């Protein structure tokens, strides 16, 4: 009978689909086992796990910024905090790495168990406990959420360290049961790192005054919103936990920028400033960004609200109530989505134009394109998985083609190949459905693929635009590409994606490309350039710096992970493949200097420049062996 029932299941669901599910289950299981085994070999690496209902990603990014400035480290990518990405982050951690920072999800009962078995963290951070994902916890409520989050702290070793928010009663209760060392952070008395004050009034960034071990410190950041002070405190707690003095850490935080979609400031060429807080929008978390908007110094304030989540009760009453409340924070409020009509019931009368509602984002984008004016400060608050509000910004720069509602992707649109792809909505829908059956990173497919121009390879140099970055190790990719252009009489031309030069190397036409984007967000600009020129990742060679290779030496890599290099990570995520040829230019200085800050941010000395020149010569020779189109595709 079991065999007959299995055959019936195959017949109902389709044999191919069943086999596909079994394949991915086995594949991921092997990945988890490999990560578990690899973690046990990394005895000199300190693993940091970060969880909470809010502030995880910002805390992870800040902690990674601090730790990577002092020693080799890696971190989980973007907002990825699920099993597979934790496993991949562990596997990308090399033996000489001192730190590995990961964000750990706990969005349903028991979910953290597998993550913690693989990660086995030495340091645990718990930011705050809110009513996120309360539907998944059913009758358990917020106490069930707290119990799941607490696993990170209760599972720490006795010689481990917990960084905990003293101002959250539930987090404090978890800490009182913790057997590991505790670093309390927050406003309350008894905090190890105590917040004395926090100010953030647009356009001024977040500034903190803190007290630690009897001394007071001023902490300047490039973040916005006083509610992000908790993430700053937690990141400082991580630094204290690993033994880095605050005097050395605080200057590093001045370089930290907001995580994508977390109070991220984006300005367009029409003088409109957007505050992107569009990753998620649980009802309980709305007050903080609205307070920031209300206190901001701006001629006009606009709030664009997408799908609200994680609240119970009558939808109509909740949206109407919220629409009434939000009017005290903004001059113009725009609701988008299937519940927008409920919010419009809060209009004062039929002539009230300060409250608008649209059932779909396309209509809202058209309205906002005509309505917004120079000097406006616009808060985007919604759920990325449901709304993809960032399309409003993208469409202002260049008309987009994908306006689907609830496409199923939870990544931001600038990493999606469908954003500018032409074709009907139905065609896009079919393509998206096919991709959703694959793994999370999607494959790169340029538009007009039937007429691909693959005769001219593209050599891409990674770096940071701006004179202040010239002659620094992180710009080795730029420097190699500049030398190639100079040697072969190339002339740089500016495009919307970056600088391009067409040169002839040994009888082969070659495009040189320098993306006009900061190193860590190179991928989207490269993807758009390749799509516009009908090229594929097979046509590319990427040149970038590598701290694991001695200065003056060069290595060729055909495929594989990013090895902690965020510029390469951005390219892999944007193109949807790690099968990209890379020329890795060594920038590791001699002696015992292993600090990333010393390697990446300090300009080369004249003696070191000779070593770089040697690497450039090797890079040019290596590229010359692989520029022929047939060789690029091997």
Count of alpha carbons within 13 angstroms of residue 322, beta-carbon side: 30
Model pLDDT for residues 370-404, shown as the tens digit of each residue = 999 999 999 999 988 889 999 999 999 889 988 88
Task: Tell whether the model's pLDDT for residue 455 goes beyond 60.
Answer: no
Token code pair at residue 519: 């190193």
Same domain, 379 and 330: yes
Task: Tell whether the model's pLDDT for residue 137 goes beyond 70.
Answer: yes
| Residue 441 belongs to some domain of the structure | no
Query: What's the pLDDT score for residue 104?
Result: 96
**Any idea what the CATH number is for the domain that residue 318 is in?**
3.90.190.20
Task: Tell whether the model's pLDDT for residue 627 goes beyond 50.
Answer: yes
In this prediction, residue 450 has a pLDDT band, given cuts at 50, 70 and 90, of very low
CA 141 → CA 106, 130, 148, 164, 169, distances in Å?
14, 10, 11, 21, 16
Order across the sheet with 498-505: list the strands: 493-494, 498-505, 508-515, 458-461, 540-550, 581-588, 554-557
Encode 38-56: b = buried (16+ Cβ within 10 Å), e = exposed: bbeebeebbbbbbbbbbbb
Token code pair at residue 155: 């599972």
- DSSP for 437-449, written as a single string: TS-SSPPP--SSG
In this prediction, residue 320 has a pLDDT band, given cuts at 50, 70 and 90, of confident
Give me the residues paired with residue 581 across strands: 541
Q: Which residue, of 253, 279, 304, is where some domain finishes?
A: 253
Q: Are strands 207-212 and 215-220 parallel, antiparallel or unpaired?
A: antiparallel
Encode 373-407: b = buried (16+ Cβ within 10 Å), e = exposed: eeebbbbbbbbbbbbbbbbbbbbbeeebebbbeeb
Query: What's the pLDDT score for residue 12?
Result: 53
d(CA 89, CA 102): 8
Query: What's the pLDDT score for residue 626?
Result: 65
Same domain, 165 and 223: yes
d(CA 232, CA 219): 9
| Residue 258 belongs to some domain of the structure | no
| Residue 3 belongs to some domain of the structure | yes
Give me the residues paired with residue 183 across strands: 163
Same domain, 271 and 243: no
Helix (H, G, I), strand (E, B) or coil at 210: strand
The stretches of 48-197 forming alpha helices (DSSP H) are 56-68, 83-91, 112-119, 141-149, 151-154, 169-176
| Residue 582 belongs to some domain of the structure | yes
Same domain, 199 and 270: no
Helix (H, G, I), strand (E, B) or coil at 394: helix
Task: Tell whether the model's pLDDT for residue 426 goes beyond 70.
Answer: no
Mean pLDDT of 120-142: 85
224 counts as catalytic: no
Return mean pLDDT, the chain: 84
Q: Which residue, of 436, 464, 495, is where some domain finishes?
A: 436
Mean pLDDT of 83-108: 94
Model pLDDT for residues 191-224, shown as the tens digit of each residue = 999 999 999 999 999 999 999 999 999 999 999 9
Mean pLDDT of 282-305: 93
Query: What's the pLDDT score for residue 437?
Result: 35
Catalytic residue selected from 474, 544, 558, 626:
474
Query: What's the pLDDT score for residue 167?
Result: 97
Same domain, 35 and 114: no
d(CA 146, CA 488): 62
| Residue 510 belongs to some domain of the structure | yes
Mean pLDDT of 14-37: 69
C-alpha closest to that of 234 among 288, 176, 287, 191: 191
Same domain, 306 and 175: no
Token code pair at residue 120: 């086995």
SS (H, E, C) 456-508: CCEEEECCCCCHHHCCCHHHHHHHHHHHHHHHCCCCCEECCCEEEEEEEECCE
C-alpha closest to that of 497 among 456, 533, 467, 472: 533
Same domain, 225 and 117: yes
Burial class (CB in 10 A: 0-12, 13-18, 19+), 602: middle
Look at 50-59, 202-211, 303-312 and tell me which has the smallest mean pLDDT.
303-312
| Residue 259 belongs to some domain of the structure | no
Q: Is the pTM of this model over 0.75?
A: no
Query: What's the pLDDT score for residue 443?
Result: 42
**Any idea what the CATH number is for the domain that residue 67 is in?**
3.40.1190.10
| Residue 242 belongs to some domain of the structure | yes
Mean pLDDT of 280-308: 92
Q: What is the enclosing helix (H) or strand (E) of 101?
A: strand 99-103
Encode 579-596: b = buried (16+ Cβ within 10 Å), e = exposed: ebbbbbbbbbbeeeeebb
Count of alpha carbons within 13 angstroms of residue 367, beta-carbon side: 19
**Any idea what the CATH number is for the domain that residue 594 is in?**
3.40.50.1470
Same domain, 85 and 120: yes
Burial class (CB in 10 A: 0-12, 13-18, 19+), 190: exposed
In this prediction, residue 14 has a pLDDT band, given cuts at 50, 70 and 90, of low
Same domain, 459 and 606: yes
Model pLDDT for residues 561-615, shown as the tens digit of each residue = 778 788 888 888 788 777 888 988 888 776 544 455 556 667 777 777 777 777 7
Q: What phi and psi values does residue 489 have, to the nearest 5 degrees?
A: 60, 40
| Other C-beta atoms lying within 10 Å of the C-beta of residue 196 | 12
Supply the DSSP symbol for 589.
Answer: P
What proportions of the chain, in percent to the nearest 5, are helix, strand and coil? 40, 20, 40
Same domain, 107 and 235: yes
CA torsion sign for 410, 414, 416, 422 is: positive
Mean pLDDT of 269-289: 91
| Contact status, residue 39 vs residue 119, Cβ threshold 8 Å | yes
How far does CA 102 lie from the centroid of its chain? 12
How far does CA 129 lie from the centroid of its chain? 22
Model pLDDT for residues 99-127, shown as the tens digit of each residue = 999 999 998 899 999 999 999 999 999 99
Percent of the chain with pLDDT over 70: 84
Supply the DSSP symbol for 601.
Answer: T
Mean pLDDT of 254-267: 91
| Contact status, residue 198 vs residue 159, Cβ threshold 8 Å | no
| Contact status, residue 333 vs residue 324, Cβ threshold 8 Å | no
Q: Which domain holds residue 137?
A: 43-253
**How many domains in the chain?**
4
Count of alpha carbons within 13 angstroms of residue 110, beta-carbon side: 0
Same domain, 64 and 201: yes
Model pLDDT for residues 505-563, shown as the tens digit of each residue = 766 778 899 998 888 888 888 988 888 888 888 888 999 988 888 887 888 888 877 78
| Residue 444 belongs to some domain of the structure | no
Same domain, 373 and 246: no
């Amino acid at each position: 009978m079991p065999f007959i029932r299995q055959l019936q299941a195959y017949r109902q669901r389709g044999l191919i689909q069943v086999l596909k599910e079994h394949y991915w289950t086995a594949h991921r299981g092997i990945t988890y086992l490999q990560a578990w085994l690899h973690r046990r070999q990394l005895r000199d690496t300190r693993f940091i796990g970060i969880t909470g209902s809010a502030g995880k990603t910002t805390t992870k990014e800040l902690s990674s910024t601090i730790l990577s400035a002092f020693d080799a480290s890696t971190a989980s990518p973007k907002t990825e905090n699920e099993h597979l990405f934790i496993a991949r982050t562990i596997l990308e951690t090399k033996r000489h790495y001192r730190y590995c920072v990961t964000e750990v999800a706990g969005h349903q009962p028991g979910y953290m168990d597998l993550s913690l078995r693989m990660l086995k963290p030495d340091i645990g951070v718990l930011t705050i406990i809110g009513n996120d994902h309360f539907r998944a916890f059913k009758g358990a409520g917020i106490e069930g959420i707290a119990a799941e989050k607490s696993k990170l702290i209760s599972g720490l070793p006795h010689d481990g360290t917990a960084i905990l928010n003293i101002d959250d009663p539930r987090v404090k209760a978890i800490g009182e049961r913790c057997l590991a060392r505790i670093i309390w952070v927050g406003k309350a008395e008894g905090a190890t790192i105590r917040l004395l004050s926090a100010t953030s009034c647009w356009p001024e960034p977040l500034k903190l005054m803190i007290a630690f071990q009897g001394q007071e410190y001023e902490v300047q950041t490039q973040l916005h919103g006083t509610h992000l002070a908790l993430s700053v405190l937690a990141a400082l707690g991580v630094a204290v936990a690993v033994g880095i003095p605050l005097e050395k850490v605080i200057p590093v935080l001045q370089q930290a920028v907001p995580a994508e979609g977390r109070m991220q400031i984006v300005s367009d060429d029409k003088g409109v400033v957007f505050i992107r807080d569009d990753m998620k929008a649980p009802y309980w978390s709305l007050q903080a960004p609205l307070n920031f908007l209300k206190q901001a110094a701006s001629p006009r304030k606009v709030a664009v609200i997408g799908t609200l989540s994680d609240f119970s009760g009558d939808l109509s009453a909740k949206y109407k109530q919220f629409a009434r409340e939000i009017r005290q924070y903004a001059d113009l409020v725009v609701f988008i989505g299937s519940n927008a009509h409920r919010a419009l019931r809060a209009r004062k009368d039929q002539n009230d134009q300060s409250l608008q509602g649209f059932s779909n984002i396309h209509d809202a984008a058209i309205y906002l394109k005509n309505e917004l004016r120079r000097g406006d400060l616009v808060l985007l608050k919604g759920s990325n998985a449901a709304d993809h509000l960032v399309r409003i910004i993208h469409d202002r720069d260049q008309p987009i083609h994908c306006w689907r509602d609830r496409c199923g992707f939870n990544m931001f649109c600038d990493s999606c190949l469908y954003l500018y792809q032409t074709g009907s909505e139905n065609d896009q829908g079919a393509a998206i459905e096919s991709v959703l059956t694959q793994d999370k990173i999607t494959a790169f497919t340029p538009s007009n693929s039937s007429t691909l121009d693959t005769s001219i390879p593209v050599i891409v140099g990674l770096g940071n635009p701006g004179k202040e970055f010239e002659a620094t190790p992180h710009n080795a990719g730029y420097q190699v590409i500049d030398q190639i252009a100079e040697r072969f009489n190339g002339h740089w031309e500016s495009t919307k994606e970056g600088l391009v030069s067409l040169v002839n190397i040994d009888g082969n036409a070659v495009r040189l490309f320098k993306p006009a984007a900061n190193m860590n967000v190179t991928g989207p600009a490269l993807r758009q350039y390749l799509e516009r020129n009908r090229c594929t990742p097979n046509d590319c060679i990427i040149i970038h710096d590598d701290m694991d290779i001695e200065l003056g030496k060069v290595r060729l890599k055909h495929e594989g992970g990013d090895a902690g290099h965020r510029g390469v990570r951005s390219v892999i995520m944007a193109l949807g493949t790690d099968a990209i040829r890379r020329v890795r230019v060594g920038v590791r200085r001699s002696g015992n200097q292993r600090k990333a800050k010393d390697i990446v941010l300090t300009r080369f000395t004249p003696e070191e420049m000779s070593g770089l020149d040697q690497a450039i010569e090797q890079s040019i020779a290596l590229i010359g062996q692989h520029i022929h189109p047939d060789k690029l595709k091997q």
